[in-house]
A and B are shown apart, each in its own frame.
Chain A
Amino acid sequence: MDTGKNSAAMNMAIDEAVMLSGMPTLRFYEWSPPAITLGYFQGIEQEVDLAKCAQMGIDVVRRLTGGGAVFHETELTYSLILPEKSKLVSHNILESYGQICSFVIEGLRKLGLQAEFKPINDIIVNGRKISGNAQTRRGGMILQHGTILLDVDVKKMFSLLKVPDEKIRDKMITAAEERVTSVSKELGTTKGFKEVRLALISAFELGTTKAGQLSQPEMQKAKELLKQKYSTREWNFMR
Chain B
Amino acid sequence: MELHEVDYKVPEGKLVRLRAQLDGDKLCSVTITGDFFLYPEERIAELEKALAGKRLEKVTLQKIVSQTLSNCQMVGVSPEEFVIALLRLQKDSL
Which residue of A41, A94, A134, A137 is within 8 Å of B33 (Cβ)?
A41
Question: By the criterion CB–CB under 8 Å, are B33 and A42 in contact?
Answer: yes
B32 / chain A contacts, CB cutoff of 8 Å: 41
Question: By the criterion CB–CB under 8 Å, are A46 and B17 in contact?
Answer: yes
Question: By the criterion CB–CB under 8 Å, are B41 and A136 in contact?
Answer: yes
Q: Is A239 an interface residue (CB 8 A)?
A: yes
B44 / chain A contacts, CB cutoff of 8 Å: 41
Q: Is B88 an interface residue (CB 8 A)?
A: no
Interface size on B, residues (CB 8 A): 20
Question: By the criterion CB–CB under 8 Å, are A41 and B38 in contact?
Answer: yes
Q: How far is the CA of A94 from the CA of B73 in the complex (A)?
A: 10
Q: A-B contact count, CB below 8 Å?
A: 56
Known: A134-B37, A239-B33. A93 touches B73 (CB 8 A): yes
Interface string of B5-30 (1 = CB under 8 A from A): 00100000110010100000000000
A121 / chain B contacts, CB cutoff of 8 Å: 37, 75
Q: How far is the CA of A57 from the CA of B93 in the complex (A)?
A: 36
User: Which A residues, 74 to 133, have Cβ-Cβ distances below 8 Å to chain B?
Assistant: 93-94, 97, 120-121
Q: Is B53 an interface residue (CB 8 A)?
A: no
- Look across to chain B and name the residue whose beta carbon is closest to the beta carbon of A67: B35
Question: By the criterion CB–CB under 8 Å, are A43 and B31 in contact?
Answer: yes
- Look across to chain B and name the residue whose beta carbon is closest to the beta carbon of A134: B37
A164 / chain B contacts, CB cutoff of 8 Å: 7
Interface size on A, residues (CB 8 A): 24
Question: By the criterion CB–CB under 8 Å, are A41 and B35 in contact?
Answer: yes
A93 / chain B contacts, CB cutoff of 8 Å: 37, 39, 73, 75
Q: How far is the CA of A85 from the CA of B73 in the complex (A)?
A: 16
Q: How far is the CA of A43 from the CA of B48 in the complex (A)?
A: 14
Q: Distance in Å from the Cβ of B65 to the closest Cβ of chain A?
A: 15
Q: How far is the CA of A64 from the CA of B38 in the complex (A)?
A: 11
Q: Is A33 an interface residue (CB 8 A)?
A: no
Q: How far is the CA of A42 from the CA of B40 in the complex (A)?
A: 15
B38 / chain A contacts, CB cutoff of 8 Å: 41, 66
B39 / chain A contacts, CB cutoff of 8 Å: 93, 136-137
Question: By the criterion CB–CB under 8 Å, are B76 and A120 in contact?
Answer: yes
Q: Distance in Å from the Cβ of A92 to the closest Cβ of chain B?
A: 8
B residues apposed to A, CB below 8 Å: 7, 13-14, 17, 19, 31-41, 44, 73, 75-76
A residues apposed to B, CB below 8 Å: 39-43, 46, 64-69, 93-94, 97, 120-121, 134-138, 164, 239
19 additional A-B residue pairs with CB within 8 Å, beyond A39-B34, A43-B33: A40-B41, A41-B33, A41-B34, A41-B35, A41-B38, A42-B33, A42-B34, A43-B19, A43-B31, A64-B41, A66-B35, A66-B36, A66-B75, A68-B35, A120-B37, A120-B75, A134-B37, A135-B37, A239-B33
